[in-house]
Amino acid sequence: MESELDRYLERLASVLGHADRRAGLRDYCRGLMLPIHRKSVEPLAAHIEPQRVRAKHQSLHHFVAKSAWSDAAVLREVRAVVQPVLGLEHGAYWIIDDTGLPKQGRHSVGVARQYCGQLGKTENCQVAVSLSLASDAGSLPIQWRLYLPETWTSDPARRAKAGVPETLAFATKTDIALAQVEQALAEGVPRGVVLADPAYGDSAAFRDRLSEWGLSYAVGVRAATAVWLPDSAPAMPAPGAGRGRARTRLHRNPEQPPVSLKELAQSLPEHAWQTVAWREGTNGTLQSRFAAVRVQAAHGGTPRAQEWALIEWPEGDAEPLKYFLCSLPADTPLERLVHVSKMRWRIERDYRELKQEFGLGQYEGRNWRGVHHHATLCIAAYGFLLWQRLSRSDKKKFARPQAPVLPESYRPRGSRANATACAGLDCHAAADAGTTNCPHPASLPMLRAGEE
As a whole number of angstroms, the distance between CA 97 and CA 128 comes to: 8
pLDDT tens digit sequence for 38-91: 999 999 999 999 889 999 999 999 999 999 999 999 999 999 999 999 999 999
Q: Is the pLDDT of residue 199 over 80?
A: yes
- Beta strand spans in 109-204 (E): 112-116, 121-134, 139-147, 193-196
Q: How, if at all, do strands 274-281 and 259-260 pair?
A: unpaired
Query: Which H or E run includes 96?
Result: strand 93-102
pLDDT tens digit sequence for 127-160: 999 999 999 999 999 999 999 999 999 999 999 9
As a whole number of angstroms, the distance between CA 360 and CA 347 comes to: 14
Residue 426: band (very low, low, confident or very high) from pLDDT cuts 50, 70, 90: very low
Contact 385, 398 (CB under 8 A): yes
Q: What does the pLDDT read at residue 125?
A: 96
Q: What is the pTM of this model?
A: 0.85
Q: Is the pLDDT of residue 31 over 60?
A: yes
Q: Is the pLDDT of residue 236 over 80?
A: no
Top pLDDT among 12 and 20 is at: 12
CB-CB neighbours of 81 under 10 Å: 19
Q: What does the pLDDT read at residue 299?
A: 80
pLDDT tens digit sequence for 287-300: 999 999 999 999 86
Top pLDDT among 264 and 439 is at: 264
Q: What values do phi and psi take at 323, rounded to 5?
A: -135, 140
Q: What does the pLDDT read at residue 413?
A: 62
Q: What is the mean pLDDT of the chain?
A: 86
Residue 233: band (very low, low, confident or very high) from pLDDT cuts 50, 70, 90: low
Residue 2: band (very low, low, confident or very high) from pLDDT cuts 50, 70, 90: low
Mean predicted confidence (pLDDT) in 24-39: 94
Q: Is the pLDDT of residue 162 over 70?
A: yes
Residue 231: band (very low, low, confident or very high) from pLDDT cuts 50, 70, 90: confident
Q: How many helices (H) and strands (E) does the chain have?
A: 14, 12
Q: Is the pLDDT of residue 429 over 50?
A: no
Q: What does the pLDDT read at residue 304?
A: 84
pLDDT tens digit sequence for 299-344: 866 778 999 999 999 999 999 999 999 999 999 999 999 999 999 9
Q: What does the pLDDT read at residue 244?
A: 54
Helix axes 368-391, 2-13, angle to 10 degrees: 140
pLDDT tens digit sequence for 90-106: 999 999 999 999 998 88
Contact 325, 221 (CB under 8 A): yes
Q: What does the pLDDT read at residue 408?
A: 64
Q: 200-205 — which CB contacts under 8 Å span 24+ positions? A: 200/96, 200/173, 200/174, 201/324, 201/325, 203/174, 204/297, 204/299, 204/300, 205/174
Provide the β-strand partners of residue 133. 94, 140
Q: What does the pLDDT read at residue 323?
A: 98
As a whole number of angstroms, the distance between CA 428 and CA 421 comes to: 15
Q: What does the pLDDT read at residue 3?
A: 87
Residue 271: band (very low, low, confident or very high) from pLDDT cuts 50, 70, 90: very high
Q: Spell out the domain ranges in the chain.
A: 2-198+348-391, 217-231+253-327
Residue 405: band (very low, low, confident or very high) from pLDDT cuts 50, 70, 90: low
pLDDT tens digit sequence for 366-401: 999 999 999 999 999 999 999 999 998 665 555 666
For the chain, helix, strand, coil in percent to 5 are 40, 20, 40
Q: What does the pLDDT read at residue 105?
A: 85
Residue 438: band (very low, low, confident or very high) from pLDDT cuts 50, 70, 90: very low
